[in-house]
Amino acid sequence: MDFPFNRLRRWPDVEADNLQAYDATDLLLVERALSLGIDGREIAVIGDEYGAITLALTDAGLDGIRVHQDLATGRRALARNAAELDLAGFSSHELDATLLDGVRLVLLQLPKALAELEQIADAVTRWAAPDAVLVAGGRVKHMTIAQNEVLGRSFAEVQAERAVRKSRLVVASAPSPAPSDPPFPVTARHDGLVLVAHGGAFAGARLDIGTRVLLEALRQAQGPRQPQGPRQPQELRQAQGPSGGQASSAGWVAEPVEATPAETVVDLGCGTGALAASYALAHPESRVIATDRSAAAVASARATVAANGVADRVTVMHDDAGSELADASADAVLLNPPFHLGNSVHTGAATRLFEAAARILRPGGELFTVYNSSLGYRAELTRLVGATEQVHRTPKFTVTRSIRR
């Protein structure tokens, strides 16, 4: 294979010496597709992180390939790499019928989340050709039997192949009839807040712990001062039954944010939109912008704000680190940053979001950040944004407030 994989870049995603724009799984998937001799117009590529699969096949002469990438960074990297290599002849799509209609071969870089894999497998059985074959690949160290079981619910035949160069392909064929109702999105209620989630959205329809802690910190930092004393934070106490024991329907109480309202608030890396919807519910006079680089998260957040009746006051954007937001345009930013890049633990993703917050905040604006206490981001926040103080801490999480200098 003569394709120049080493010329591919991850930009605008984080770039580092130990982070590549392709891996052995990409090569295996390309080799398999070329060996099958299927027309490019009958091939769909899903999860092509930076375009390695799509561009290698296009370079080999296949035309009309359809591709779906969840991340905005991946979409921009694909476009940039295609321009750099002077390649065209493919089209980008969402995970829908336009991606899969009539497709006979689906090439998939296995996602981390089983729910995302379930939604992809269902989409293939729902919209692809009746004889479609799904060839999924991943690094062996990240693959599990559970992935085969998920595929087995949508395909009659699932066969894992021998590992090659520490990667493995799994071939799923004979699609089962798709159920009348798709498995996603899913909906859950959290004491007045409705969350809607597609398969690829972090934490699904659950209210993740970091978000709960950030909601409590916002109340403590900006809301009316509460008498101090031994008590459980309101957003973190478990619902209890009449006798004081946990009720059968107990969950974590997710009360709306009671912070002093800011005129323009940005939920940076919004996920399913829990923070954006909570803030909008509590502060109808505020303008809220929710942005995430994941298409699944954006679709989830849009559904969440609609389900909570605040779609007219919350704008949801598919964007990379708020790049489409103007400088000094926000009064406050809410941030629960990731600490993974794909399957790698890397702080670069958080750093990019800190830099983004510093850019979009007006001088004197506030950044509220929640993070795993072991990561110790306070010094970096002070350097990149401005004076930073701890406003809340639990055994696992720290919340800081940074004032834009």
What is the overall mean pLDDT for the chain?
A: 89
Residues 277 and 247 in one domain: yes
Band (166; pLDDT cuts 50, 70, 90): very high
Helix (H/G/I), strand (E/B), else coil: 381: helix
* Rounded-to-integer distance, Cα 266 and Cα 39, Å: 44
Band (237; pLDDT cuts 50, 70, 90): very low
Band (255; pLDDT cuts 50, 70, 90): very low
Q: What's this model's pTM, rounded to 2 decimal places? A: 0.88
Residues 287 and 392 in one domain: yes
pLDDT in tens, 114-128: 999 999 999 999 999
Q: What DSSP line would sit under 257-325, residue for residue?
A: P-PPPPSEEEEET-TTSHHHHHHHHH-TTSEEEEEESBHHHHHHHHHHHHHTT-TTTEEEEE-STTTTS
CB 324 within 8 A of CB 318: no
3-state helix, strand, coil in the chain (%, to 5): 35, 25, 40
pLDDT computed for residue 261 by the predictor: 65
pLDDT computed for residue 128 by the predictor: 98
Band (256; pLDDT cuts 50, 70, 90): very low
Mean pLDDT of 295-319: 98
Whether 72 is covered by a domain: the verdict is yes
| Count of domains forming the chain | 2
pLDDT computed for residue 222 by the predictor: 54
List Cβ neighbours of 171 (8 Å cut-off, separation of 6 or more).
Answer: 133, 134, 135, 136, 157, 158, 159, 161
Q: Is the pLDDT of residue 226 over 90?
A: no
Mean pLDDT of 305-327: 97
* Rounded-to-integer distance, Cα 144 and Cα 142, Å: 7
Whether 181 is covered by a domain: the verdict is no
Residues 163 and 222 in one domain: no
Residues 261 and 168 in one domain: no
Residues 131 and 198 in one domain: no
pLDDT computed for residue 228 by the predictor: 33
Mean pLDDT of 210-221: 83
Radius of gyration over alpha carbons of the chain, in Å?
22
Task: Report the range of poorest mean pLDDT among 4-13, 241-250, 340-349.
Answer: 241-250
| CB-based burial label for 300 (10 Å; 0-12, 13-18, 19+) | buried
Find out whether the peptide bond into 185 is cis, omega within 30 degrees of 0: yes
Q: Within 10 Å of residue 315's Cβ, how many Cβ atoms?
A: 15
Q: What DSSP line would sit under 51-79, residue for residue?
A: SHHHHHHHHTT---EEEE-SBHHHHHHHH
pLDDT computed for residue 272 by the predictor: 97
Whether 375 is covered by a domain: the verdict is yes
Residues 245 and 387 in one domain: yes
> Residue 17 sits in which domain range?
5-175
Residue 64's closest CA among 104, 15, 25, 119?
104
Residue 324's closest CA among 359, 354, 365, 367?
359
Instruction: Report which residue type is found at 281.
Output: L
Residues 205 and 114 in one domain: no
The tokens describing 140, both together, are: 């062996």
Residues 170 and 238 in one domain: no
Residues 316 and 282 in one domain: yes
Q: Is the pLDDT of residue 223 over 60?
A: no
Task: Report the range of poorest mean pLDDT among 150-154, 287-291, 392-396.
Answer: 392-396
pLDDT computed for residue 347 by the predictor: 60
Band (260; pLDDT cuts 50, 70, 90): low
Q: Is the pLDDT of residue 146 over 50?
A: yes
pLDDT computed for residue 254 by the predictor: 39
Band (348; pLDDT cuts 50, 70, 90): confident
pLDDT in tens, 68-103: 999 999 999 999 999 999 999 999 999 999 999 999
Residues 288 and 319 in one domain: yes
The CATH number of residue 45's host domain is: 3.40.50.150
